[in-house]
Homo-oligomer: A and B are copies of this chain.
Amino acid sequence: MVSLAVAEAAAELSVVQVLSAASPDSFLAAPVPQLDLEFGGIRGDRHFGLTRPSGSREARCYPRGTTILNRRQVTLVSAEELAHVASRLQVPEIRAEWLGANLLVAGLPALSALPAGTRLLFPSGAGLVCTGVNQPCRQPAQVVQEHYPQSTALRQFVRAAMGRRGIAASVECPGLVRPFDRAIVVPPERHVVID
């Protein structure tokens, strides 16, 4: 087996909107002027913390309620992917607020395909590291349905959003993130075997 190291080009994305929990116990997010990323995430957001209790997503790995490292501090969704989901559901739009997302970004064709370990570096010096895909759940389906009572979102959102639900991330380096920021997307180092 022979394979050579190739420096993968870094891509870029644009921040369209930044959001935080609309209220401490709400699934919904609300736009804010900027995010002040700390090592625990976004203070005041429902996902803030260096650790968190494990839930149904980790049921294969840890008994529910186990204190684990919080690798879902920040969630990002893509304007292009949400437009695609809206089109599939035949509704005018799907808003980042309804999905409880913290960053709405644009400019990457497939945000949700970024592998874990991808870094997002912001002009302030802040850095996020992608920790994995964000699987669709049913809560946003209900919110979308409430906004479009004639739609089939409640039944079809999860399927329509599969693979386009964005990513979760941890704060690797604290700092500010603002609308109109352009962020550099750095792929993770690859496994390279030379014979």
Contact = CB atoms under 8 A, between A and B. Distances in A.
Interface of A: 3, 5, 39, 50-51, 54, 60-63, 66-69, 71, 110, 112-113, 115-117, 119, 121, 125, 127, 129, 131-133, 135, 159, 162-164, 170-173, 186, 188-194
Contacts of A131: 117
Residue from the set A54, A63, A132, A164 with the largest chain B CB neighbour count within 10 Å: A132
A69 B173 contact: yes
Given A162-B192, A193-B164, A127 B39 contact: no
Nearest to A164: B193
A127 to B, nearest CB: 6
Number of copies of this protein chain within its complex: 2
**Interchain residue pairs A-B with the least CB separation, the first 8:** A116-B117, A163-B193, A116-B116, A69-B172, A162-B194, A113-B191, A163-B192, A68-B173
Given A5-B162, A115-B117, 16 more contacts: A60-B186, A61-B119, A61-B186, A68-B172, A68-B173, A69-B129, A69-B171, A69-B173, A71-B129, A71-B172, A112-B191, A112-B193, A133-B191, A162-B192, A163-B193, A163-B194
Contacts of A164: 193
15 contacts: A5-B162, A39-B50, A39-B69, A61-B127, A61-B186, A63-B125, A67-B173, A68-B173, A69-B171, A116-B188, A117-B131, A133-B189, A133-B192, A135-B189, A163-B194
A129 to B, nearest CB: 7
A135 B112 CA distance: 27
A54 B39 CA distance: 15
Contacts of A39: 50-51, 69
A127 B62 contact: yes
Contacts of A110: 191
